[in-house]
């Protein structure tokens, strides 16, 4: 696992999921997103409980395929297929390599597709994962994306949505941001690296409140919605169709 030093020596402009990011992505996630490992582990546990026979699972914005692999290793139901989608060529290339290396008998088939998730058909899905992906879509496109997911799911299907959020209380938000920066410093990021990455993500990643996400999920037809994990300003939610 290569160490993330992308923002150590220079200002790289707006954040992109390019080859440089793909090379260091596992380290970046581990050191930047509190609770990330727990969310991936839980995705495996949820797959064991919610994936239904002869259905599909989707990993939308799959990056290097961590969620796809977690689902694949834990699905007990027969006749399932996983569709992993990302629009970044570098991520898709590396994801295919990692999926191929994980190939074992009896595991669900995984198709890794390079495409815009907004153009992907969702059908016969019993589990869909968007792990820190929705936040990169334009805000006015998010409701349609969530509705599309909901409409493509079977009864009792599970949607996992992980996002960076912003708190409605500005004082609380300020405290959470500081705690997150401290988390990064404890993981050996310098103040300069933290500042540069924050600037690179500005206007690229647009977080929303938990209440906004909950309302959008319910409006899309999910009957049961809740937060199962929160660590500072990072949240993972589950919604059942």
Between CA 200 and CA 196 the distance in angstroms is 6
Compute CA distances 132 → 40, 73, 180, 207, 238, whole Å.
Answer: 12, 21, 16, 10, 13
Q: What per-residue confidence (pLDDT) applies to 172?
A: 96
The predicted structure's pLDDT at residue 11:
62
Q: Which domains does the chain have, with CATH numbers?
A: 1-241 (3.40.50.150)
pLDDT given for residue 202 in this prediction = 76
**What is the number of other CB atoms lying within 10 angstroms of the CB of residue 114?**
14
Spell out the per-residue pLDDT of the chain, length 241, in tens: 688 777 776 666 677 778 888 888 888 889 999 999 999 999 999 999 999 999 999 999 999 999 999 999 999 999 999 999 999 999 999 999 999 998 776 789 999 999 999 999 999 999 999 999 999 999 999 999 999 999 999 999 999 999 999 999 999 999 999 999 999 999 999 988 888 887 877 777 899 999 999 999 999 999 999 999 999 999 999 999 9
């Amino acid at each position: 696992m290569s160490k993330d030093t992308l923002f150590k020596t220079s200002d790289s402009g707006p954040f992109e999921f390019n080859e440089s990011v793909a090379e260091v992505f596992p380290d970046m996630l581990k050191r930047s997103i509190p609770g990330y490992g727990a969310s991936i582990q839980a995705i495996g546990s949820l797959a064991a409980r919610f994936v239904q026979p002869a259905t599909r699972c989707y990993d939308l914005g799959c990056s290097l395929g961590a969620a796809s692999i977690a689902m694949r290793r834990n699905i007990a139901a027969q006749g399932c297929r996983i569709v992993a989608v990302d629009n970044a060529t570098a991520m898709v290339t590396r994801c295919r390599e990692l999926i191929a290396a994980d190939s074992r008998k009896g595991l669900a088939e995984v198709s890794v597709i390079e495409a815009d998730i907004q153009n992907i058909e969702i059908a016969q899905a019993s589990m869909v994962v968007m792990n820190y992906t929705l936040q990169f879509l334009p805000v006015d496109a998010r409701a349609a994306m969530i509705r599309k997911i909901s409409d493509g799911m079977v009864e009792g299907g599970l949607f996992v949505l992980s996002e960076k959020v912003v708190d409605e209380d500005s004082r609380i938000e300020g405290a959470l941001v500081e705690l997150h920066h401290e988390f990064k410093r404890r993981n050996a990021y310098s103040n300069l690296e933290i500042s540069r990455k924050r600037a690179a993500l500005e206007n690229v990643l647009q977080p929303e409140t938990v209440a906004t996400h909950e309302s959008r999920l319910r409006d899309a037809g999910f009957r049961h919605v809740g937060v199962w994990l929160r660590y500072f300003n990072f949240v993972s939610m589950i919604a059942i169709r």
